[in-house]
Every structure is written in structure tokens, then in C-alpha cells.
Amino acid sequence: MLVLTRKQGEKILIGDDIVITVLDVRGDSIRLGVDAPRGISIQRAEILKAVSDANLEANVAADRSDAAVAAQLKSSLGLLPAAPAPVAPLPAVSQPE
């Protein structure tokens, strides 16, 4: 990783067609301007990670079976039949020693 120190108004050139300009410095944050061709994708890493995590979570949720989703919906709407009464456990059988 190349680490550079820049002041407000100074620029960094990447290749022949990408220019990064330090627009403003305030406290612990800076404003950068990026001038690049339209074909170059410029993304903020934290936003890209958040979208990726949300897509992964949605895919996991979509993998649930339709029956499970239908049962959950019916349950939340109170449409499921009453559960059968629990069966009493059988008495323990003692083994001869």
C-alpha cells in the first residue's frame, strides 16, 4: 500500500485517466473528489460490504422451503389447527439385576 500525505487542493493521479483531489479537511475527516471515466466503478467499501451482507442474508432466507414459510405465515395468522394434546410419557420399566 502506498501511503501519501496531501494537503487541501492537492491531487493524486492513478494511471492516465483517474484523478483524486483532496477537497476539504475537517477534524478527523476529509472530502475527496474522484474524477474517472464513466466505465470505472467507484464504490465505498463499507457500503459494498453492507449490500453484500444484506444480499447473503436474503439468499439464506429465500432458501427456506415454501412449506416452512407457509406454516410460519399460518401460525402468525392463527390459522394452524390446534396442536394435539401431549402424550404422557410411559412409566419407566425397572430392569432385573
Q: Which helix (H) or strand (E) holds 14?
A: strand 11-14
Whether the per-residue pLDDT at 89 is higher than 80: the answer is: no
53-67 tens-digit pLDDT: 888 777 766 666 666
Q: Which of 21-30, 46-55, 84-93 has the lowest mean pLDDT?
A: 84-93
- 32, 47: one domain: no
- 52, 71: one domain: yes
- 33, 48: one domain: no
Query: Per the domain annotation, does 37 fall within a domain?
Result: yes
DSSP 3-state assignment of 54?
helix
Query: Per the domain annotation, does 1 fall within a domain?
Result: no
pLDDT at residue 12 in the model? 96
Whether the per-residue pLDDT at 82 is higher than 60: the answer is: no
- 53, 34: one domain: no
Query: Per the domain annotation, does 67 fall within a domain?
Result: yes
Q: What's the domain count of the chain? A: 2
- Domain of residue 63: give its range: 43-77
Query: What is the rounded distance in angstroms from the CA atom of residue 8 to the CA atom of residue 27?
Result: 13
